[in-house]
């Protein structure tokens, strides 16, 4: 197993973009598009190293949940030397104005199931002093530009930027969602990995961004045709947006 050397994340050279998704369908086409791919298996995950539209990249499936995502992000940095991380996948809507087929880019992320009260305030990640972990502004802005360009060809799809919540639950309960929205009024979407990646990147000093295509309304119908949506819509969105991102801006 070849161990990659880490690079200075602030260097203009030797940038390496880590691309994480939870499900294979969310990265459909990216591995096939990668030039000079090399596959490495470590920690029950397959990392594909190569180049995407002239950007050095490592693509990997984290699998589902915060622990799985955190482990994957840490290994991308420590073993594969990535300097930036992009998480792409699907999420449930947490706002009436965010509709199925829309795209949400995180300005910040919160672990909505984090509650160490009374030792720490609800949602605050212990010993960080933060409840809302901010994404990298430059990366997120570049990603928003790439998404806007892609969505020009999609009828009615809207780009949103704001708060995404992560927890180790698939939210399919309207009452549970309403309670979260009451506690986190700015919440736009819910998923299961992004805030864990955000914490790892915060602690390691790695710029990151999270983009999610809305697959459901996080209510009792959330599981209906979920995988069909991921395969037919979300994977196409992710491929097109990442292509625009790489072609226009690099890592």
Which residues are part of the catalytic machinery?
26, 216
Cα separation, 124 vs 114, in Å, equals 7
Pairwise CA distance, residues 235 & 24, whole Å: 9
Interacting residues of 51 by C-beta distance below 8 A, sequence separation 6+: 34, 35, 36, 57
Give alpha helix (H) positions in 1-65: 30-33
The dihedrals phi and psi of 7, each to the nearest 5 degrees, come to -120, 160
- Helices (DSSP H) in the chain: which residue ranges? 30-33, 66-78, 137-151, 174-183, 194-204, 226-229, 235-249
Neighbours of 43 (CB within 10 A): 12
- In eight-state DSSP terms, residue 24 is G
- Three-state DSSP at 23 gives coil
Are the beta carbons of 239 and 29 closer than 8 angstroms? yes
């Amino acid at each position: 197993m070849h161990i990659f050397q880490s690079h200075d994340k602030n260097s203009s050279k030797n940038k390496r973009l880590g691309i994480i998704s939870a499900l294979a369908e969310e990265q459909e086409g990216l591995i096939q598009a990668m030039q000079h791919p090399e596959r490495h298996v470590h920690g029950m995950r397959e990392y594909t190293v190569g180049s995407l539209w002239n950007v050095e990249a490592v693509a990997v499936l984290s699998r589902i949940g915060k622990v799985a995502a955190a482990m994957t992000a840490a290994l991308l940095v420590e073993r594969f030397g990535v300097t930036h991380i992009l998480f792409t996948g699907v999420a449930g809507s947490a706002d009436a104005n965010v509709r199925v087929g829309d795209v949400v880019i995180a300005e910040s992320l919160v672990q909505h199931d984090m509650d160490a009260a009374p030792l720490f305030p609800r949602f605050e990640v212990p010993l960080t002093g933060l409840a809302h972990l901010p994404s990298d502004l430059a990366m997120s802005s570049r990603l928003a530009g790439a998404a806007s360009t892609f969505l020009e060809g999609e009828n009615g799809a809207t780009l949103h930027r704001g708060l995404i919540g992560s927890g180790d639950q698939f939210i399919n309960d309207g009452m549970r969602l309403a309670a979260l929205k009451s506690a986190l009024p700015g919440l736009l979407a819910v998923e299961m990995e992004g805030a864990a990646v955000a914490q790892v990147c915060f602690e390691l000093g790695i710029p990151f961004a999270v983009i999610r295509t809305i697959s459901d309304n996080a209510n009792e119908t959330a599981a209906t045709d979920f995988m069909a949506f991921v395969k037919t819509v979300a994977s196409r969105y992710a491929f097109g947006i990442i292509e625009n991102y790489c072609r226009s801006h690099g890592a």
